[in-house]
Amino acid sequence: MKIRELYEKGLAILEKSDVPDSSIDTKYIIEYITGISTTRQMLEADRDVDEDTCSKYFETIDKRATRYPLQYITGEQEFMGLIFKVNEHVLIPRQDTEILVARALEVCENKRVLDMCTGSGCIAISIASLGKPEKVSAVDISPEAIEVAKNNAKINNVSDKIIFILSDLFDKVEKEEDDGRFDVIISNPPYIAHDTVATLMPEVRDYEPNLALEADNEGLFFYEKIIKESPDYLKKEGMLMFEIGYEQGKAVADMMTNAGFTQVQVVKDYAGLDRVVCGKLF
């Protein structure tokens, strides 16, 4: 079969399953299976592909047609210009989260940074790789996620800059008695309300880890806990910064203000939606 036919047949299968951006995903799957880059596929449309490769291709297309995420198929996602390996144990890094990282990069120089709920490690590793923090600690409750994050740190050459801590939120994070340890605590915790989960895309709802998505109390559970406990782990004038769901800006900002944070700000993403809340410990 020729590349052109792989494309046409694959596209038809993905479109039938309502896969968003079917055309792009078809091209990425061709690239993944044949090694011919998306940009060269047009030029090589008449190139013949052997039978074995064709059957591997259609198996992969069928898998994607179940709405299994492309990134779990290819095993990677780009974030902040870096490559992250992903599997079903971690949330796939989102472009939305780059806003949070960009903010953190503005304030992290020579600072001690803690990334709470690190998942794939995308936040901690981007800060360690693109910024000049003194040290980064990355926490997650899932041993499988910590494995993924450690591997990502290795791939991105920042293993020596990050301490990984397997911990249920702050449980295993040490705190110094006097002035706290961290200058910046950053987190993209699970924040989807239980009732909302059913409305998510099948890719997210059926395949991304529930543990990384859902939270009690209308999705606010982890913000509440982290806001309550972080003053014990932050230095004076330390910063706390979160990614939030677009309807959670006011609730999270109010919680931070009530907990003694000042200069609490809600920052919008490129789509104009509330996406980040940050504040300074008084």
Instruction: Report the interface residues with ligand GLN, using CB under 6 A.
Output: 91, 93, 97, 117-120, 122-123, 188-190, 212
Amino acid at position 229, single letter: E
Least gap, CB of 189 to ligand GLN (angstroms): 5
Q: How far is the CB of 99 from ligand GLN (least distance, A)?
A: 11
Nearer to ligand GLN, 122 or 281 (CB): 122
CB of 96 to ligand GLN, least distance (A): 9
Question: Which residue in 160, 151, 27, 159 sits closest to 84, CA to CA?
Answer: 151
Which residue, 56 or 94, has its beta carbon nearer to ligand GLN? 94
- Tokens 């972080």 map to which residue? 230
CB of 53 to ligand GLN, least distance (A): 33
Place of tokens 């993924």: 148
Distance CA 95, CA 216 (A): 25
Q: What Å distances lie between residue 36 and 31, 58, 100, 192, 267, CA to CA? A: 5, 16, 34, 38, 40
| Cα separation, 212 vs 83, whole angstroms | 20
Residue number, nearest CB to ligand GLN: 119
* Rounded-to-integer distance, Cα 95 and Cα 80, Å: 8
